[in-house]
């Protein structure tokens, strides 16, 4: 599925469409350059799932936890990881296999630890500053 967002005001509709497309999948991997809008889209996804608390980037904490209307949500930012063993040390599998939503930024830092099935979301910035969002079920 390919979506385009020309402004942040469109993100709630994009988020609702992504959640609907995902069906029962709970693991979402976000790919895109720095500043492409990964965290901004995750904020809209969390709001779509009923989170009322502020959603912020877990760049320094590595993982933030939110409570949605029906589910727990874990938001990861693996940008600062030096190697995959750091994810092992934090007990990533307890999060990934908890049936909670897991939104993972910079999954390329942990390629051997990724689950078998997930939603792959690739965000790219177009020349007009809109965002092209490619969503695939893997």
Tell me, what CATH number does 131's domain have? Answer: 3.40.50.300
Looking at the 3D structure of the chain, how many domains does it have? 1
pTM of the model: 0.94
User: What are the pLDDT digits (tens) for 12-63?
Assistant: 999 999 999 999 999 999 999 999 999 999 999 999 999 999 998 888 889 9
Domain span at 71:
2-137
Q: What is the pLDDT of residue 110?
A: 95
CA 78 vs CA 1, 59, 84, 97: distances in Å: 25, 7, 9, 17
Percent of the chain with pLDDT over 90: 93
**Residue range 61-76: mean pLDDT, rounded:** 94
pLDDT of residue 75 exceeding 90, the answer is yes
End-to-end CA distance of the chain: 12
CA 25 vs CA 7, 19, 52, 72, 99: distances in Å: 27, 9, 22, 14, 9
Confidence band, pLDDT 50/70/90 cuts, at residue 65: very high
User: Cα–chain-centroid distance for residue 68?
Assistant: 15
In angstroms, rounded to a whole number, what is the distance separating the alpha carbons of residues 127 and 13? 22
Q: What is the pLDDT of residue 119?
A: 97
Q: What is the pLDDT of residue 39?
A: 95
What average pLDDT does the chain have?
94
Query: Pick from 18, 11, 10, 27: which is nearest to 138 by CA?
Result: 27
Continuous H helices in 53-121: 84-89, 92-96
């Amino acid at each position: 599925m390919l979506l385009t967002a020309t402004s942040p005001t469109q993100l709630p509709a994009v988020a609702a469409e992504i959640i609907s497309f995902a069906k029962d999948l709970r693991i979402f991997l976000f790919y895109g350059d720095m500043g492409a809008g990964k965290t901004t889209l995750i904020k809209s996804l969390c709001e779509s799932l009923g989170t009322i608390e502020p959603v912020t980037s877990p760049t320094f904490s590595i993982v933030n936890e939110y409570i949605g209307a029906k589910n727990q949500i874990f938001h990861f930012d693996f940008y600062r990881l030096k190697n995959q063993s750091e994810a092992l040390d934090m007990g990533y599998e307890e999060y990934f296999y908890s049936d909670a939503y897991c939104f993972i930024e910079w999954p390329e830092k942990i390629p051997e630890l990724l689950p078998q099935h997930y939603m792959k979301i690739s965000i790219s910035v177009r020349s007009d500053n809109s965002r092209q969002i490619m969503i695939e079920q893997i």
